[in-house]
């Protein structure tokens, strides 16, 4: 038994006439009659009651038609689903974000993805440190990571990335801090200030970036607090527990008691889109297109 036998039977059962069914199927009537006979012989039961003028269904045929319609509908649906997945219009995709991207990019990106790719089930994981996102990519729990530079490129040969944008630095200050009276702040102005930073020890690209900026200005950073989440970092600043150097998009995270001033200099922090090198998912490719368009908007 093949699917064509089921399609032939459905056509005859619905038309109640071999001639009309043959026309509908774009085939000659004698082969159609022969195929139906083969189906009945294989099942060992008569499905159709033939007369000179019409074809009626036997009780077994009536029951069989119900099942056949369900089987063929499922087969058709499976084919359509496979085509949509193959075209990148359906599927599931998990996006990870570093803290600043969580607040500045994720809201608009999520809306754009829902509008452009409504058939894809998106899940988002915010406030993820870059090393954690790399691990999640390799474990397959994240499909697209928005993170900070990864360090030695040779250590990430299994990943591929592109620079989405380069972000200026700003200084997060408690309201009322003397430096908040200035229009811009130099790195050297932070000498002796207690700094709130993202977790060090290879846990955060921002930790290394802030330490590098301070050392480039001729002093070792005084780190008073290390945190895992950007929202916690800004909250600590607002509480007067220190100051922080952060990418400019962090300023979009409104926390009462914190204010921001531009950092003097040309230093920038890259935001990267990172995926597994062997991930050729059409849904991922479409998602990247929407992401790039959203960043450029």
pLDDT digits (tens, 9 = 90+) for 186-205: 999 999 999 999 987 667 88
Sole residue written with tokens 């040969």 = 157
User: Does the fold of domain 166-269 match that of domain 91-165+277-296?
Assistant: yes
How high is the mean pLDDT of the chain? 91
CATH architecture entry for 3-86: Orthogonal Bundle (1.10)
Q: In b/e form, how buried is each residue of 207-232, taking b as 16+ CB within 10 angstroms?
A: bbbbbebbeeeeeebebebbbebbbe
Task: Tell me what pLDDT residue 202 has.
Answer: 67
Q: Considering the entire predicted model, what is its pTM? A: 0.72
Question: How many helices and strands in the chain, by DSSP H and E?
Answer: 10, 11
**What is the mean predicted confidence (pLDDT) over 224-246?**
95
Contact assessment for residue 167 and residue 268, using Cβ atoms and an 8 Å cutoff: yes
For the chain, give every domain's residue range.
Answer: 3-86, 91-165+277-296, 166-269
Q: pLDDT class for 156, splitting at 50, 70, 90?
A: confident
CATH architecture entry for 166-269: 3-Layer(aba) Sandwich (3.40)
Contact assessment for residue 244 and residue 172, using Cβ atoms and an 8 Å cutoff: yes
Domain 91-165+277-296 -> CATH class: alpha beta
- Give the residue from 44, 56, 46, 45 showing the smallest Cα distance to 18: 56
The DSSP result for 136-157, as a single string, is HHHHTS-SEEEE---S-GGGGT
For residue 9, give both structure tokens.
């039977």
**What is the mean predicted confidence (pLDDT) over 208-229?**
94
């Amino acid at each position: 038994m093949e699917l064509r036998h089921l399609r032939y039977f459905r056509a005859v059962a619905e038309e109640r006439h071999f001639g009309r069914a043959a026309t509908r199927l774009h085939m000659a009537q004698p082969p159609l009659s022969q195929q139906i006979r083969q189906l009945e012989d294989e099942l060992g039961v008569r499905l159709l009651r033939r007369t000179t003028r019409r074809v009626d269904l036997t009780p077994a045929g009536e029951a069989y038609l119900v099942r056949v319609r369900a089987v063929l509908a499922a087969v058709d649906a499976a084919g359509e689903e496979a085509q949509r997945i193959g075209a990148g219009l359906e599927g599931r995709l998990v996006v990870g974000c570093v803290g600043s991207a969580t607040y500045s990019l994720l809201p608009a990106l999520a809306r754009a993805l829902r509008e452009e790719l409504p058939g894809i089930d998106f899940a988002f994981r915010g406030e993820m440190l870059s090393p954690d996102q790399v691990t999640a990519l390799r474990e397959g729990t994240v499909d697209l990571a928005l993170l900070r530079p990864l360090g030695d490129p040779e250590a990430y040969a299994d990943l591929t990335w592109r620079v989405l944008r380069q972000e200026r630095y700003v200084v997060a200050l408690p309201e009322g801090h003397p430096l908040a009276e200035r229009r811009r702040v130099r790195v050297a102005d932070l000498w002796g200030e207690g700094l709130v930073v993202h977790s060090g020890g290879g846990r955060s690209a921002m930790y290394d970036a802030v330490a590098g900026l301070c050392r480039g200005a001729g002093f070792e950073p005084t780190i008073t607090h290390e945190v895992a989440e950007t929202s916690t970092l800004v909250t600590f600043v607002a509480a007067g527990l220190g100051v922080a150097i952060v990418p400019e998009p962090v300023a979009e995270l409104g926390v009462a008691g914190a204010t921001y001033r531009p950092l003097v200099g040309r230093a920038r922090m890259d935001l990267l889109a990172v995926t597994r090198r062997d991930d050729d998912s059409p849904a991922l490719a479409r998602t990247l297109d929407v992401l790039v368009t959203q960043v450029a908007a």
